[in-house]
Amino acid sequence: MTDLERKLAETLREQAGEVTPNLDAAWAEQLRRQRRPRRRRLTVVVAPLAAVLVVLTSVLLATQLNTDSAVQPASPGMPIVLSKPEYTPLSALRVTDTPAVVTTFVGQSDTWSTYAFTATVAGTASFCLAAVPRGDQLIPEAPQYGAKSPSCMPLGGGELLAGYVGENDGPLPAGKAVYVVDPRHQHGDLRLFDAAGDLSQPTSATNVSDYIAYLADVKPDSPPVRYDFTPVRVHPASR
């Protein structure tokens, strides 16, 4: 190899050494530029998904809050708050009006009549029930049904003045109930509700002194706990 050829080869090697780094840098730049659009595309896809998730989360939270804060439907009617009936011998009562038969029922051997009446018990105006054999008069000597006849309870001061739910050994059989209504509400519809909200309505009404005694069929194991009373307007007779 001549000197000229040797110098030419060295010159070419030097030029190649200068070009190679530039090629590497260019290649790296190209790769960087190619990656950049991918990140943009990923951002374009992820951003809407994140927004949708935020909206769905907000809707679910709002629905949960509305459900939790929703007012539960109120139980129908008003609570029945009455004095409990107590057994009182007929001889200890001062009957204040004519007793009225509200129902009859069959016992173990006889048919019995349930009388409703007002009486004074130790100076307190009371409502009483007593069951005697059908056809017998309500007198102290008359046989009484069970161990809880007569049963009396003080007359209250609300729309419902007194009430008795039938029971074994009582003057009213299980499955029946009697409620006394304020005389100012003699015309109206009485509705009774048990703890489950099931409705019972009176099957008959009897005048007892100045009051109305409503007889109703009820569930023996689920007595009424609430009531409502809707007065019915009585139009005066036209002249």
How far from 139 is each of 22, 25, 105, 172, CA to CA, in Å? 128, 123, 19, 18
Q: How far is CA 169 from the centre of its chain?
A: 33
Instruction: Write down the residue that tokens 């949960």 correspond to.
Output: 64
- pLDDT tens sequence across 101-149: 999 999 888 999 999 999 999 999 999 999 999 999 999 889 999 999 9
Pair 174, 112 in one domain: yes
**How many residues would you count in the chain?**
239
Same domain, residue pair 112 and 214: yes
Residues 14 and 85 in one domain: no
* Other residues' Cβ atoms within 10 Å of the Cβ of residue 225: 16
Q: How many domains does the chain have?
A: 2
Residue 124 neighbours by CB under 8 Å, 6+ apart: 154
| Helix, coil or strand: residue 2 | coil
Tell me: do 138 and 208 sit in the same domain.
yes
Domain that holds residue 6: 1-70
Say yes or no: 65 and 98 in one domain: no
pLDDT, one tens digit per residue, over 167-189 is 989 999 999 999 998 877 666 78
Is the pTM here over 0.75, yes or no?
no
Residue 219 lies in a domain: yes
